[in-house]
Chain A
Amino acid sequence: MEQFLQQVASGLANGAIYACVALALVMIYVSTDHINFAQGEMAMFSTYISWQLMTWGMSFWLAFISAVVLSFIMGVLIERLILRPLHNAPVLSIIVVFIGLLAIFNSMAGAIWSYLIKEFPSPFPKSSFGIAGVIGPHQLGVVVVTLIVLGLLFVFFRYTPLGLAMRAAAQNPQMARLVGVRVDWMLALGWGLAASVGAVAGIMVAHIVYLDPNMMGGILLYAFASALVGGISNPAGAVAGGFIVGILENMVAYAGNQIEKATGIYIIGNGEKLTVALIIVIFVLTVKPAGLFGRVVVKRV
């Protein structure tokens, strides 16, 4: 039982990370209809920035905030400089540009900080934090931090004029423009926010998966799965999807482990995590593309 609870708890911690990256994906998808394949690598890059700031002597939280702010600027710049001119480009061009960004971020991180795996500190005190035997201090800290970030985002989108303008720009750009919202800038801000949320996820997960340029590959795949499960057009759904997928992932590994113990037959384990995500992605896409909480898109022909 205790092992089971542990699995759920660590599923929640992973789920929090997936929720963040999935939310970042959904924020961009809702406003531009693009799936940002470079989201994971951007988060990875932000994590390296925070690591660099820490090695220069900054405290963890100062480095955290600086990296989040820098990521915001990076996101805005990418939207303004690279994606804006491709406003009406065909889908393939957009996908190619995202893959280009992915390659650039990945290789630049390798070039600047080398491909050697680095340890990443955890800011949460080892003692007096977490629940003994169920959830470790870092895992609990991750859940708390991501919940705070998600709460802040919710308040921002729900209760501030800027948040309202951004939602308007995403939902109905023409109308928003007519009532004086600067839609172009709202999209850029959305990109900035997405990059920031991704940075939070990256910095939080780096202690668990260690810091290296390919650290976000698997997480991005799980974030895709989360966003799809929750419904890729629904931010709250993406967050819920993140937690569902996070727990599901650990449950599958746990069940596989139990089966192996009981029958001695290996079916599935930690080594198949990405395959599980792939199956979730393809299953949701083909069976229920709107996800659990998404809007069913009706196309007129």
Chain B
Amino acid sequence: MAASSKKWVLAIIVAALVFPLLKPIFPDFVSDYRLFLFSTMIIAAIAVLGLNLLTGYNGQFSLGHGAFYAVGAYTAAVLMDKLNVPYWATIPAAAMVCFIVGYLFGLPALKLEGHYLALATFALALAVPQILKYKWLEPLTGGVQGIVLLKPEVPFGLPLSEDQWLYYFCLITMIILFWAAANMLNSRSGRAMMAIRDQYMAADTMGIDTSLYKTVTFGISAAYTGIAGALSASAIAFVAPDSFNIFLSIKFLIGLVVGGIGSLTGSVIGGIFYVLVDNSAQSLTQFVKNDLGLPFDLSAYTVFGVLLIAIIYLMPMGIAGGLYILWRRIRSARG
């Protein structure tokens, strides 16, 4: 990472840390609702990063990362609900469980390539809500009803609102996870992951244990997305099977493709992006109905679908890649 971009990252982190403290000065701008929205964006960014580690850096496709998100969310919810585990302790637990589940799913995935892996994970995504409703799991998962939780309380008597604290909790988790991911990608293991993506045969010949790397990457990727799921369980204070449908996995794919495949910055952009579009669907429908006079209830997925196709055509590297190319052009134009 170049020194200048390191400075930028630091500046953004500081800005993100200071932002909620401005609440007394700009009460309208820094509202609890906005902080909650930012928290969901952070959670989305972590989930997309998880998918990016697998698809972007290791070249394995997954259309079913919603499954790991669900496992993370349910692990956290069950621990809080049944065992009264504090919310912060559910994060490492969810990471562990999801790592194991992801690793195990990575084993059959070893035999699958390209379309077939996409197919298997797509099938997984379709089946998740049903698996969560399985009768034997019902005492734990609460079946169709789901589990209602309490929102995380502000610790140590800090003078913060619940949403402010949640925001900080998510933000700090995200900073740690991104830092860890950046370090991992910049290491021998990270280079091995990318070598497998770019030249599987060559990587194998060079002595990289491809099976080990692929399954462990699957596990790590699942753990990241699972942590996002656990955070979301705390943030929304509710989990229910039908919210983990195929469209959740599609959202992660949106984040991945729009942000940029194989880019850490892209994961953040992608996460922010899909939450934004998801949130503005309502006003979009209003616009279509009132201003264009069309009798349609436009959902965010129309936008998502069109964008997915458009980005593949226009910006195969995603927004992060597009910005990078733009930045390089400006640099070279200057001299």
Contacts and interface: CB of A to CB of B under 8 A. Distances in A.
A35 B115 contact: yes
B282 to A, nearest CB: 13
Nearest to B295: A112
Contacts of B250: 99, 102-103
Interface string B103-129: 000001001101110111011101100
A266 B308 contact: no
Contacts of A37: 63, 118, 122
Interface in B105-159: 108, 111-112, 114-116, 118-120, 122-124, 126-127, 130-131, 133-136
A100 B309 contact: yes
A285 B116 CA distance: 8
A34 interface: yes
Interface string A84-108: 0110010111011101111111111
B302 interface: yes
A221 B116 contact: no
A39 B307 CA distance: 19
A110 interface: yes
Contacts of B116: 285, 289
A285 B111 contact: yes
Given A103-B308, A274-B126, A285-B112, A108 B302 contact: yes
A277 to B, nearest CB: 7
B120 A282 contact: yes
Contact of A35 (B118, B126, B297, B302): B118
Contact of A93 (B108, B135, B201, B312): B312
Given A37-B122, A218-B126, A282-B108, A91 B115 contact: yes
Most buried by A among B253, B312, B313: B312
B298 interface: yes
Contact of A89 (B120, B126, B246, B312): B312
Contacts of A225: 123
A220 B116 CA distance: 15
A301 interface: yes
A107 B127 contact: no
B183 to A, nearest CB: 26
Interface in A259-289: 266, 269, 271-275, 277-278, 281-282, 285-286, 289
A191 interface: no
Interface in B79-97: none
B134 A282 contact: no
Interface residues on B, range: 35 or more
A51 B321 CA distance: 44
Nearest to A228: B119
Determine the interface band of chain A, counting residues with CB < 8 A from chain B.
35 or more
A163 to B, nearest CB: 26
Contacts of A111: 296-299, 302
B258 to A, nearest CB: 10
Given A101-B305, A111-B296, A273 B130 contact: yes
Interface string B215-232: 000000000000000000
B55 interface: yes
Interface string A11-41: 0000000000000000000000111010000
A244 B316 CA distance: 41
19 contacts: A37-B63, A91-B118, A99-B63, A100-B305, A100-B307, A103-B302, A103-B308, A104-B301, A107-B300, A114-B297, A221-B127, A224-B119, A228-B119, A271-B133, A275-B130, A275-B134, A285-B116, A286-B108, A289-B111
Given A96-B312, A217-B246, 18 more contacts: A37-B63, A89-B312, A91-B118, A92-B55, A92-B61, A95-B115, A97-B309, A104-B305, A107-B301, A110-B299, A266-B135, A273-B130, A275-B130, A277-B123, A277-B126, A286-B108, A286-B111, A289-B116
Interface of B: 55, 61, 63, 108, 111-112, 114-116, 118-120, 122-124, 126-127, 130-131, 133-136, 201, 246-247, 250, 253, 257, 261, 296-302, 304-309, 312-313, 316
